[in-house]
Structure 1
Amino acid sequence: MKIQGQQITFEGRAEQENISGTFTQNGQSFPFELKKGRENKKEKDENTVQIKLKEGPMYGVLETPHTKGPFPVMILIAGSGPTDRDGNSPLLPGKNNSLKMLAENLAAHGIASIRYDKRGIGNNSRFLDKEENLQFEQYIDDAAAWIQFAKKDDRFLKVGIIGHSEGSLIGMAASAKEEVDTFISIAGAGRPIDQVLLEQLSTQLPANLLAEAKDILEKLKQGNQVQTVSPELQSIFRPSVQPYMISWLKYDPTEQLKKLNCPILIINGDHDLQVQVTDAQALHATKKESQLLIIDKMNHILKEAPENKEENIATYSNPDLPLAEGLMDGIVTFLEQV
């Protein structure tokens, strides 16, 4: 197969449900092993809901309180990359289950929730055939479709959005298309994504690669793709992801937030390594009537974490850690007030 312009070959032997052998790339060979996946039986036990899109059904999970309804419902939108509806990413070892825990805690306080894998991820991976076909607007339209679904369901009283990280911006734009009763941003950027990316990369890259990243982002902002990208930057700026980034760069969070006419809560942790407290403050300044909640010691995956980078990141793979103290109290108090 050809991946990012490189020809990679796999040669192996199938034995029962395993395939093992070697793959060769750039003249070097490495071992590989594939194991046949199992159907996730748990999926059938969960309260699966679906919306009908033109490409087919998109699936989500409904979490409801154990008391009698109808209930207010919050639609949870996950962050960037392959982050799934539970808040976990295959790019990281282990799980943190942050969004799953958030949904379960909402249910314990009488609030229903719907969380779903974005297109191209998990149960909804079939909605994306090629990475280069993905557009930010598709995420917005999908979220808007879930809002429509919830509004028509008599199990729900009010419909709101909780967007985490990139899901915050998706939720803002979707809420502007389909009016919601409440909007909550958790760890949402307060600046266009190019500014956030450059801030993150400035602490990781040498001067020559940082200059290249700046140049690439400028071209992408102008709607132009860049074919030649240094190997060190391929994970961020590979050609196949550039159409998505071009569409993403069109959206300024502060401009999107101005369009909302519902009660708004903006949350950030002061130990978040990826999104700064100043981003939350910028969003709050845009909508002065919004509520701002800064959680002491909370990191990007909603857990209490040390400031030390390595120790902070270690929490990303620990599902046993509870949500940061003050997060649920803040959300529930806000929702009860509105």
Structure 2
Amino acid sequence: MAGAAGIGAVGSLAGMTVARSVMRRISDDDPYADEDFELLDADRGFVVTTEDGVPLAVREVGPEDAALTVVFAHGFTLRMGAFHFQRARLTEEWGSQVRMVFYDQRGHGQSGDADPDTFTVDQLGRDLEAVLAVMAPRGPVVLVGHSMGGMTVLSHARQFPKSYPSRITGAALVASAAEGVARSPLGEILKNPVLEGARFATRYAPKTVHRTRGAARAVIGPVLRAASYGDARISPSVVAFSERMMHDTPIATLVGFLHALEVHDETAGLATLAKVPTLVVCGDRDLLTPKDCSERMADALPDSELVIIGGAGHLVQLEQPGIVNDALVRLVERATPSKLTAMTRRLRERVRHHG
């Protein structure tokens, strides 16, 4: 009962926070009122089939013969559109020098559903390898993972260490953690019997899962929303976009991956990532992967830059895209051949000069 009371308190606190910030948001100006958040849908599309037959939706931006490929792995209950601002700004920044590859994780976005038993961080690392094998079989690659996507990168590093630094020349871990989120507010909520019931239904009685859908969303939704942003002045259009992504995520995916996030331990991947330049980013108001998770990862990565963004929550790349984009540009400069570095720097100076 104490646990349930704690959940109620966190849930209602989250609900109140959301309600308060939404009230404030409505009166604010919205710099992104005319933003096209479906920009990625117009990019070159591919389907990559995983080892167990799940079709992953993939999008590609930039020339196929670019000197470097940057691959983005999104977080829990999101889709590749979570990197909307990186897609928009970095295309201008890098021009023809860099190709960007985005994909929807299994069970998310436009990618196929999968057996709930495969909703593991271990499997996500192998899915990333499948994407790399098809989309970037040659040439240097930088990996960027947000939240569960950062765990995906760590999982890949643990399982495919020989690719570092020969193929993977740099990596970014954004609002992520090397091990389970049991100690964060999300960990407390995961103990809720409603979620246990939904997890049981998705695994053993999939036809009844719709009955638990509303209850499970009612428990987890307010927490994810409250943790998304740290600053009440966030654009209402950005908030609506991220909430749409969360709402569109199937309940079986949501419930299935919750357990994986609770128990995963990819600290072994840090030893592999230590061979390449890395970037670790988080907001100091991130409730789901608190900043000490990022600080611990950065401590284990000798060639890392740690960027802690004041006032930002878990969806830091949507909340403070400029700071995240600048940090990614610095990472690519550290992780790529000198010719590209000089070109990138010149481009950036030109953009700044005209901006």
Q: How many residue pairs were aligned?
A: 241
Question: Which structure shows the higher helix fraction?
Answer: 2
Measured after TM superposition, the shift of residue 190 of structure 1 is: 4.3
2:295 is aligned, of 263, 281, 284, to: 281
Residues 103, 112 of structure 1: 8 Å contact kept: no
Report the secondary structure of 1:262's partner residue.
coil
Which residue of structure 2 lines up, in the alignment, with residue 118 of structure 1?
A: 105
C-alpha spacing 1:194/1:71, structure 2 compared with 1 (3 Å)? same
Paired letter, 2:108: I
Deviations 1:168-224 (A, max 9, x none): 01111113334211110000124422223xx3465xx7xxxx9x559x99xx9xxxx
Measured after TM superposition, the shift of residue 58 of structure 1 is: 2.7
Report the secondary structure of 1:271's partner residue.
coil
Paired letter, 1:265: L
1:172 aligns with 2:170: no
Measured after TM superposition, the shift of residue 294 of structure 1 is: 1.5
Which residue of structure 2 lines up, in the alignment, with residue 140 of structure 1?
A: 125
Paired letter, 1:139: L
Percent identity between the two aligned chains? 16
Report the secondary structure of 1:160's partner residue.
strand
Which residue of structure 1 lines up, in the alignment, with residue 324 of structure 2?
A: 327
1:46 aligns with 2:43: yes
Q: Write the distance in 2 (CA, Å) between the matches of 1:327 and 1:253.
A: 23
C-alpha spacing 1:195/1:201, structure 2 compared with 1 (3 Å)? closer
Report the secondary structure of 2:288's partner residue.
coil
Which residue of structure 2 lines up, in the alignment, with residue 58 of structure 1?
A: 56
Which residue of structure 1 lines up, in the alignment, with residue 334 of structure 2?
A: 337
C-alpha spacing 1:297/1:137, structure 2 compared with 1 (3 Å)? same
Measured after TM superposition, the shift of residue 151 of structure 1 is: 3.5
Measured after TM superposition, the shift of residue 247 of structure 1 is: 5.0
Larger radius of gyration: 1
Which residue of structure 2 lines up, in the alignment, with residue 262 of structure 1?
A: 276
C-alpha spacing 1:257/1:324, structure 2 compared with 1 (3 Å)? same
2:134 is aligned, of 146, 149, 154, to: 149
Paired letter, 2:129: A
Report the secondary structure of 1:259's partner residue.
helix
C-alpha spacing 1:240/1:181, structure 2 compared with 1 (3 Å)? closer
Residues 158, 268 of structure 2: 8 Å contact kept: no
Q: Which has the higher contact order (CA 8 A, sep 6+)?
A: 2
Gaps of 5+ in 1: 1-40, 88-98, 226-230, 306-322
Cα RMSD after superposing both structures: 3.7
Measured after TM superposition, the shift of residue 243 of structure 1 is: 6.5
Measured after TM superposition, the shift of residue 329 of structure 1 is: 1.4
Measured after TM superposition, the shift of residue 249 of structure 1 is: 4.8
Which residue of structure 2 lines up, in the alignment, with residue 103 of structure 1?
A: 87
TM-score, length of structure 2 as denominator length: 0.57
Deviations 1:1-26 (A, max 9, x none): xxxxxxxxxxxxxxxxxxxxxxxxxx
Residues 131, 241 of structure 1: 8 Å contact kept: no
C-alpha spacing 1:50/1:174, structure 2 compared with 1 (3 Å)? same
Q: Write the distance in 2 (CA, Å) between the matches of 1:233 and 1:63.
A: 39
Q: Write the distance in 2 (CA, Å) between the matches of 1:333 and 1:79.
A: 22
C-alpha spacing 1:116/1:291, structure 2 compared with 1 (3 Å)? same
Q: Write the distance in 2 (CA, Å) between the matches of 1:43 and 1:104.
A: 9
**1:240-255 mapped onto 2 (5 Å cutoff):** 244=257, 247-255=260-268
Report the secondary structure of 1:109's partner residue.
helix
Question: Which structure shows the higher strand fraction?
Answer: 1
Deviations 1:227-270 (A, max 9, x none): xxxx8984579999776555555532433212322221111122
Report the secondary structure of 2:183's partner residue.
helix
Which residue of structure 2 lines up, in the alignment, with residue 292 of structure 1?
A: 306
Which residue of structure 2 lines up, in the alignment, with residue 25 of structure 1?
A: none
Q: Write the distance in 2 (CA, Å) between the matches of 1:70 and 1:266.
A: 25
